[in-house]
Structure 1
């Protein structure tokens, strides 16, 4: 993923693959046909992808502690992460806020907020709802904390999915290493046991079996099983407590200048 401006810090490489996937998806959504869609509905994927990109950076820094402050500040300066939205996520009751638009009174009649901000138990109309501007199915605290507020792949916890994959790979590598250590040494004369009268063609394709399919690169958002694992990893990390400083953070940290 390329960016204009200053060179990204070393920690940005850890995020690059997923951010590139999100950037490519965003480009696809912008260029797709909007025929048959309402004007606001055509913007849903764009709003949801920018939300997910901010959530990914937020989770990696505040929840999983996988990136440093320099990398986080770089993402904010490059508009990869929305600092204003992240500042709301750090406040009680706004942990799953879909957009700052839905809590701005001037955007709604009678100075209220979007229906997606009303807890399910307090709504007059029961059943599924969806904010007409963002496509959010409900981001009120307590309703879908840790869940998917958009009901599609754009509302998934990508940081959790990535870390779950890493943990799974580590376990797999450790298992292979253990098997290699426990594997008995192969005798040099093992191959000499083959019968000299065996007239089978050693070069036959049948000896090697069917050709293996080309390796397919994993999508950033993963499948249903990986989504569940990612959500579990994120929930465990969130339950571990947050020792970060409190207070609203509107942008990158600023170092004190020496006189």
Structure 2
């Protein structure tokens, strides 16, 4: 969520008015996702937060693409957006590294979040999962990540 604006907050740099409608749309989607309550019987505890993670990822990817891919915004505006928390600074830092271009969330690479001390299964390339399943003559059991609901975020997918 973006920070709350106060008198001490610096005014938005030039160009913010062009991207603010899209950022406002993401904010509306986030509010809807946070207020939406699923049935306690049909969903797991983590499933209710998956949509929030996905919208957060989309908003950060939007800012990342504007600055690094399309070069449509200035560095000043980009840094202001990060400072005001319109995008996730750490997630964008990972996207710039090789092997993490499609990373869905930071929880999936934190080894202390899992019981066996490794990263999430969504980071394993789909081809590797299928090859291992073929050796065991079983179908691939992985459908969605338990942290954020992604179906796989390995760079080779």
**Superposition TM-score, scaled by structure 1 size:** 0.53
- 1:7 counterpart (7, 11, 34): 11
Q: Which residue of 2 aligns with 1:89?
A: 95
Pairwise CA distance, 1:37:
2.1
- 1:74 counterpart (76, 80, 86): 80
**Superposition TM-score, scaled by structure 2 size:** 0.85
Does 2:120 match 1:106? Answer: no
Deviations 1:18-63 (A, max 9, x none): 1111100110111112223211000001111111110000000000
- 1:63 counterpart (53, 66, 69): 69
Q: Please, which runs of 5 or more residues in structure 1 have no aligned partner?
A: 144-259
Cα RMSD of the aligned pairs, angstroms, is 1.7
Q: Which has the larger radius of gyration?
A: 1
Q: How many equivalent pairs are there?
A: 143
Q: Please, which runs of 5 or more residues in structure 2 have no aligned partner?
A: 134-139
| Cα distance in 1 between the residues matched to 2:154 and 2:10 | 38
| Cα distance in 1 between the residues matched to 2:103 and 2:3 | 29
Q: Which runs of 4+ in 1 moved over 3 A?
A: none
- Contact 2:60-2:86 within 8 A present in 1 as well: yes
Q: Which residue of 1 aligns with 2:122?
A: 116
| Cα distance in 2 between the residues matched to 1:3 and 1:56 | 21
Q: Which residue of 2 aligns with 1:140?
A: 154
Distance 1:17 1:140, change over 3 A: same
After superposition, residues 233-244 of structure 1 pair within 5 angstroms as none
| Cα distance in 2 between the residues matched to 1:77 and 1:105 | 27
